[in-house]
């Protein structure tokens, strides 16, 4: 056992991770969340939000490539892209890898956290905040969408989980919010969201989001990837109105990666298609879900990880 400062991260009421904390680089509390950025031997810099690991220097590319590129590649020429959340700047970075992108709007409510990322986390954003195609907006995303008349080819929802009954983020996971998102998609548009961890007894974030999005979009597809620093499989959902965003004609996916000159560390065409192949039990969980999150009865998680509505 190595001696020093350790942090216990509670994953569920029954399971926890013991993480060793090295030098603290930044720590504080914004009006919206607490943050801790520290160094570790295993994963380099580690960002924690509200006492949970958000991303790490050495494997953040896995999560961010998985979140962004299946949706971006499903669109033949994404020009206008919206990122909701994504304070570290890495989601924005991946979006900007696509040369067709003329404008990437990032809407995040937490200016202070973005400034922490800008100063202390250049490995994540890699200058994306200062790209001339970037438009940074600090606002409540739902209010901003309601007031905006802009439409987007791809919308990427990189949001924190709705933990806590009073957490306003739960209104970014409801049927009414997805109806708003659908109205902001240009013809042929695609939306993708992070969709929670996939543990045997802690998968309902994913299934409720899938069930709720099916109320709005004709085509809703789940996929998954393993995130090393989370020590678990993580879910994502991509949706569209006019076509199945997970079905590609033979050779199209690889051709688009090549044509766009995408330098990907984790994904290739074969792996992207494989991420959409779900095991039998996960398909059964999704099919059996009946809960639809609404503004009147929004879905949220208790601090202990229990799924609730109301």
Read off the pLDDT of residues 64-73 as tens digits, 9 standing for 90 and up: 999 999 999 9
For residue 162, pLDDT beyond 90: no
Q: What is the pLDDT of residue 14?
A: 75
Catalytic residue selected from 59, 108, 110, 158: 158
CATH node for 60-309: 3.40.50.150
* Eight-state DSSP code of residue 128: G
Q: What percent of the chain lies above the pLDDT cut of 90?
A: 77
Q: Catalytic annotation on 158?
A: yes
The answer, yes or no, to whether residue 13 has pLDDT greater than 90, is: no
Q: How far is CA 305 from the centre of its chain?
A: 18
Higher pLDDT, 300 or 9: 300
Could you tell me which residues come within 8 angstroms of residue 128 by beta carbon, excluding any fewer than 6 positions away?
89, 90, 92, 93, 96, 134
pLDDT of residue 2 exceeding 60 = no
**pLDDT of the residue at 165:** 81
pLDDT tens-digit readout, 187-226: 999 999 999 889 876 788 899 999 999 999 999 999 999 9
Stretch 92-120: mean pLDDT: 97
- Residues 216 and 183 sit within 8 Å (Cβ to Cβ): no
pLDDT, position 297:
94
| Residue located via tokens 């995303």 | 141
pLDDT band at residue 1 using 50, 70 and 90 as cut-offs: very low
H-only helix segments in the chain: 60-74, 90-95, 111-120, 122-125, 141-147, 175-183, 204-214, 252-259, 269-275, 280-288
The predicted model gives 136-147 an average pLDDT of 96
Segment 93-116 shows an average pLDDT of 97
The CA dihedral of 236, 242, 248, 249, to the nearest 10 degrees, is: 180
Taking the alpha carbons of 303, 234, 61, 231 in that order, is the dihedral positive or negative?
positive
Domain ranges of the chain: 6-56, 60-309
Q: Give the residue with greater pLDDT, 144 vs 20.
A: 144
pLDDT of residue 303: 74
**Does position 304 have pLDDT exceeding 80, yes or no?**
no
What pLDDT sits at residue 235? 96
Calpha distance 191→246 (Å, rounded): 12
User: Any residues with CB less than 8 A from the CB of 127 and at least 6 apart, and which?
Assistant: none
pLDDT-derived band at 3, boundaries 50, 70, 90: low
Q: Say which residue the tokens 């929004």 belong to.
A: 298
CATH 2.30.140.10 fits 6-56, yes or no: yes
């Amino acid at each position: 056992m190595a001696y020093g400062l350790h942090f216990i991260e509670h994953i569920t009421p029954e399971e926890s991770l013991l993480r060793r904390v090295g030098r603290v680089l930044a720590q504080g509390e914004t009006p919206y969340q607490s943050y801790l950025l520290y160094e570790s031997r295993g994963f380099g810099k580690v960002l924690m939000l509200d006492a949970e690991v958000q991303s790490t220097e050495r494997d953040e590319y896995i999560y961010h490539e998985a979140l962004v590129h299946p949706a971006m590649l499903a669109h033949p020429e994404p020009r206008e892209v919206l990122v909701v959340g994504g304070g570290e700047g890495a989601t924005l970075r991946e979006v900007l890898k696509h040369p067709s992108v003329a404008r990437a709007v990032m809407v995040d409510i937490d200016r202070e956290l973005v400034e922490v990322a800008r100063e202390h986390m250049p490995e994540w954003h890699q200058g994306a905040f200062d790209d001339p195609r970037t438009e940074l907006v600090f606002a409540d995303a739902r209010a901003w969408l309601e007031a905006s008349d802009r439409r987007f080819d791809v919308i990427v929802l990189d949001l924190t989980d709705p933990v806590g009954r009073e957490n306003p983020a739960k209104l970014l996971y409801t049927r009414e919010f997805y109806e708003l998102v659908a109205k902001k998609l240009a013809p042929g548009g695609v939306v993708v969201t992070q969709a929670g961890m996939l543990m045997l007894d802690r998968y309902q974030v994913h299934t409720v989001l899938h069930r709720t999005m099916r109320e709005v979009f004709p085509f809703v597809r789940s996929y998954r990837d393993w995130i090393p620093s989370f020590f678990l499989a993580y879910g994502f959902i991509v949706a569209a109105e006019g076509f199945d965003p997970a079905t590609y004609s033979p050779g199209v996916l690889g051709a688009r990666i090549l044509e766009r000159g995408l330098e990907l560390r984790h994904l290739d065409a074969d792996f992207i298609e494989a991420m959409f192949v779900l095991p039998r039990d996960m398909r059964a969980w999704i099919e059996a879900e009946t809960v639809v999150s609404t503004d009147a009865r929004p879905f949220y998680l208790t601090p202990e990880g229990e799924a609730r509505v109301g």
